[in-house]
Amino acid sequence: MPPSPAIIAEPGQDSTLVLNMGPQHPSTHGVLRLVLEIDGETVVRLRPEIGYLHTGIEKTCEAKFYQQVVPLTDRIDYLCPMTNNLTYCLAVEKLLGLEIPPKAQWMRVLMNELTRINSHLVWLGTHAMDLGAMTVFLYCFREREDILRFFEMISGQRMMTSYFRIGGLALEPPIGFFEKLKKFADRFPGNVDEYEGLLTGNPIFLMRTKGVAKLSAEDAIALGACGPTLRGSGVDIDLRRDAPYTGYENFKFKVPVATEGDVFARYVCRVQELRESIGIVQQALAGMPEGPVKADAPKVVLPDREKMKTQMEALIYHFKIITEGFTVPAGEVYQAVESPRGEMGYYIVSDGSAKPYRVHMRGPSYANLQTLAKMCEGYLIADVIAAIGSIDVVLGDIDR
Amino acid sequence: MPLAPPITDIEQLKSHPALQRILGWKPEVITSVKFDREELTIWVDKVFIREVCALLRDDRTCPFNYLADLTCVDWYPSEPRFEVVYHLLSIPQKERVRLKVRLDGGSPAIESVTSVWPSANYYEREAFDLFGVRFTGHPNLKRIMMPDDWEGHPLRKDYPVEGYR
């Protein structure tokens, strides 16, 4: 691959210099390349160059059965695998017209909020480390480790969980899972106080974040920002509250909004979300309904292992789903979910066969990255680092 | 819940703000409509797509001010081959609508909506890169995912999964 032209300066602009940041720069959070045109220390123009992680997942999906796509979705936004699973499963269930039992819905909410905490902890740790606060990283990863253990307990995997399946969940949660989670949920607000104690009043952190990389509400909407990046600019939207899915209408939570539109505002929104999320986890634990975790749809949902070994019918269905997949009525849906980074949308087109005709993922990081140029122009190079951290991009989600 | 049959009768769907707005402006730009699985799709004449988008964005009662997604579907080998799909969201009213435009396979081209929503920039570049649909008036229509010297458009249905050998 020949290097793409790095020079964006027009002739005659001798005072500016073109600087290449990334794709192997530690604070670009993956393989993001930024081409900066700088005048001294000031950024005149910024252009993100992406595509280094492009793996063609959308193309791969078209060659798989519907149920085989679920593990692929984990690998898109690898910091919130369950949110990806959820969006995909909801979209296919909408195509099928499938009803999900209440326990599966509540488990989905519970795991989804744990995923949000997990993702925000990685963001908080790395964002603070980019700005020179090393300790926060260690604190955040301590709690993240606990959450990854919960993921391992419930699905057998720490990161690529594939726990949600079309029609419900893969497995019942194991014995003792809820008790351990309850202990964690009781302890966690204290941990958030610890992070806030290190950062929120820290004068160095405030100097690096307040009034830096500002984005107005109009620009945020026009440039397609979503999630905490949009809420940090004062736009009050959260799909969990405004377009509830998978039973979010049963939960009470606040949507943190800040109006300043700077790096600190986005920090405040995310840290408040940590507290709201653990509140939702507590509510889900308190009101967890009893019942099955899989929908009653033998042609779509794999039978339990035990049934498969004892009942002829179940064995036949198992064989048919594995070898031929299941057909989905023709049509199309766009399912949007509030991921830790914003609106994650799956657009699925079905032609009535067992494989999706087209799967398109609308990545929140892809949308948020477009705002970076607007945010950084006129600020210093060091502020670019703060800005990248504040929009919380995941390159797997951008390049797909 | 069993699936309800899709509604394609424009009279029954008139109450949707987006449809109402377009019908009040130029009813002839609508080729067809479909309401399926709680989602409204409007097929629009390709010549008017930018004007329709600007119209919906500037609506007073229900402004579709946010472009949630823009992508493309390849219906090879049938004609018209491509469908460009716009998912719009109204942040104040929390309404959604899907606009679709059909394009011929020969040299698919459509007017860019970057002047309506600057956020269309990356989405249109992606559709150009992976499907080969040209967006006229786009400020920087270059490949975004694939290398600049790549041949072919990978998400087209006639492009082999393992690439050209």
User: How confident is the model over A325-344, as pLDDT tens digits?
Assistant: 888 999 999 999 999 998 99
Nearest Cβ partner for A223 among B2, B73, B118: B118
Residue with tokens 């100097």: A207
Contacts of A304 (CB under 8 A, 6+ apart): A314
Structure confidence by residue, pLDDT tens digits, A352-400: 899 999 999 998 999 999 999 888 888 888 888 889 888 888 888 888 8
Per-residue confidence (pLDDT) for residue B165, from 0 to 100: 61
Q: Please give the full DSSP string across B77-127, using - where no structure is assigned.
A: TSSS-EEEEEEEEETTTTEEEEEEEEE-SSS-EEE--TTT-TTHHHHHHHH
Substitution target from B87, B119, B157 for chain A, most A beta carbons within 10 A? B119
Residue predicted with more confidence, B25 or B70 = B70
Q: Please give the full DSSP string across A23-49, using - where no structure is assigned.
A: SS-GGGSSS-EEEEEEETTEEEEEEEE
**Which residue of chain B has the CA closest to A348?**
B73
Say if residue A99's pLDDT is above 80: yes
Residue with tokens 């600049």: B148
Strand order in B95-103's β-sheet?
A: B30-36, B39-44, B95-103, B82-90, B66-74
Alpha-helical runs (H) found in A156-253: 177-199, 203-209, 217-222, 228-231, 239-242
Looking at CA atoms only, how far is residue B122 from chain A in angstroms? 7
Looking at CA atoms only, how far is residue B47 from chain A in angstroms? 23
Cα A97 to Cα A24: distance, rounded to the nearest angstrom: 45
Q: Average pLDDT, whole number, for chain A?
A: 88
Per-residue confidence (pLDDT) for residue A117, from 0 to 100: 93
Structure confidence by residue, pLDDT tens digits, A17-42: 888 887 877 777 778 888 888 888 88
Say if residue B76's pLDDT is above 70: yes
Residue predicted with more confidence, B15 or A223 = A223
Structure confidence by residue, pLDDT tens digits, A207-252: 888 888 888 988 899 998 998 999 999 898 999 988 888 889 889 9
Looking at CA atoms only, how far is residue A40 from chain B in angstroms? 27
Per-residue confidence (pLDDT) for residue A345, from 0 to 100: 92
Nearest Cβ partner for A329 among B3, B73, B91: B3
> Domains of chain B, with CATH numbers?
17-136 (3.30.460.80)
Cα A82 to Cα A271: distance, rounded to the nearest angstrom: 20
Q: Closest Cα to residue A362, out of B85, B46, B143, B38?
A: B85
Cα A138 to Cα A126: distance, rounded to the nearest angstrom: 10
Per-residue confidence (pLDDT) for residue A14, from 0 to 100: 64
**CATH code given to domain A57-399:** 1.10.645.10
* Range of weakest confidence among A3-17, A58-72, A269-283, B145-159: A3-17
Contact B69 A362 (CB under 8 A): yes
Strand order in A342-350's β-sheet?
A: A331-339, A342-350, A358-362
Contact A347 B146 (CB under 8 A): no
**Which residue of chain B has the CA closest to A296?**
B1
* Range of weakest confidence among A71-75, A155-159, A290-294, B21-25: B21-25
Per-residue confidence (pLDDT) for residue A1, from 0 to 100: 47
Per-residue confidence (pLDDT) for residue B164, from 0 to 100: 65
How many contacts (CB atoms, under 8 Å) link A and B?
Answer: 95
Say if residue B77's pLDDT is above 90: no
- The model's confidence at residue A10, banded by pLDDT at 50, 70 and 90, is low
Substitution target from B144, B151, B153 for chain A, most A beta carbons within 10 A? B144
Q: Where are the beta strands (DSSP E) in A325-395?
A: 331-339, 342-350, 358-362
**Which residue of chain B has the CA closest to A59?**
B155
Hey, what amino acid is at B19?
Answer: L
pTM for this entry = 0.91
Which residues of chain B have a CB within 8 Å of the CB of A391?
none
Mean predicted confidence (pLDDT) in B20-36 = 86
- Percent of chain B at pLDDT exceeding 70: 97
Structure confidence by residue, pLDDT tens digits, A239-286: 998 888 888 988 999 999 998 889 999 999 999 999 999 999 999 999
Substitution target from B71, B115, B123 for chain A, most A beta carbons within 10 A? B71
Residue A305 CB: number of other CB atoms within 10 A?
11
Per-residue confidence (pLDDT) for residue A295, from 0 to 100: 87
Cα A394 to Cα B42: distance, rounded to the nearest angstrom: 33
Residue with tokens 């459509």: B110
Per-residue confidence (pLDDT) for residue A53, from 0 to 100: 86
- Percent of chain A at pLDDT exceeding 70: 96
Contact B94 A242 (CB under 8 A): yes
φ, ψ of residue A271 to 5 degrees: the values are -65, -40
Cα B97 off chain centre by? 10
Report yes or no: B111 at the A interface, CB cutoff 8 Å: no
CA dist A82 → A102, A160, A201, A245, A365 (Å): 18, 8, 33, 14, 16
Q: Are A136 and A80 in contact (CB under 8 A)?
A: no
Structure confidence by residue, pLDDT tens digits, A143-154: 999 999 999 999
Nearest Cβ partner for B155 among A59, A243, A332: A59
